[in-house]
Homo-oligomer: A and B are copies of this chain.
Amino acid sequence: MSIEYFTIGALAKKVGKTTRTLRFYEEKSLIEPAKRTQGGYRLYSHDSLVRLQWIEQLQDMGFSIKDIQNFVSQVSDIKHPPSKMVHISQVYVQRLKETQEEISRLREQEKELQASLAMLDSCQTCTSISDHTACRSCMEITKKQQNRLKIPDLLQPLLG
């Protein structure tokens, strides 16, 4: 049973990426065709497919292309297999830390937005009043609340 090869277009379709992306990864030394045709067409084996899926998974875990490049070269530089595993663990731990930091940053964002929205809710009664000059609640927003809204200058015209 002979090995099955894919052209770049066929492989691209299989992994849901463009041919440009596959060539780009090759430039970055992340993949390489098993061989070429006489005319120079890239021919990939199943290994490349696996490798591409692996790259995608690492990207999904937040690793950049450069991270993956470093990862590959560093691990292959380490000769002692158990040391490889230790290094891999360290890289994952570091990534996990960064992901968690990003999460807490976003949770801060979330809180700010929710607080601002809660503040804006007190203005919503206003919207049901056709004559907004009679709207008092907007006028009663304090300086401190304005700051909370993060839109002081936009509120300024409303606040007179």
Contacts and interface: CB of A to CB of B under 8 A. Distances in A.
Given A96-B110, A112-B61, A85 B150 contact: no
A36 interface: no
User: Interface residues of A: mostly helix, strand, loop or mixed?
Assistant: helix
Copies in the complex: 2
A116 B114 CA distance: 34
- Chain A interface category by residue count: 35 or more
A98 to B, nearest CB: 10
A158 B81 contact: yes
Interface in A108-147: 108-110, 112-114, 116-117, 120-121, 123-124, 126-127, 129, 132, 135, 138
Contact of A106 (B83, B99, B126): B99
A113 B61 contact: yes
Contact of A123 (B72, B85, B114, B117): B85
A83 B51 CA distance: 53
Given A50-B152, A60-B109, A106-B99, A120 B92 contact: yes
Contacts of A103: 103, 106-107, 110
Interface in A47-66: 47, 50-51, 54, 57-58, 60-62
22 contacts: A54-B153, A57-B112, A61-B116, A72-B154, A81-B126, A81-B132, A81-B157, A82-B129, A82-B132, A83-B127, A84-B158, A85-B126, A85-B127, A85-B138, A88-B120, A88-B151, A89-B117, A89-B121, A92-B120, A96-B113, A99-B106, A103-B103
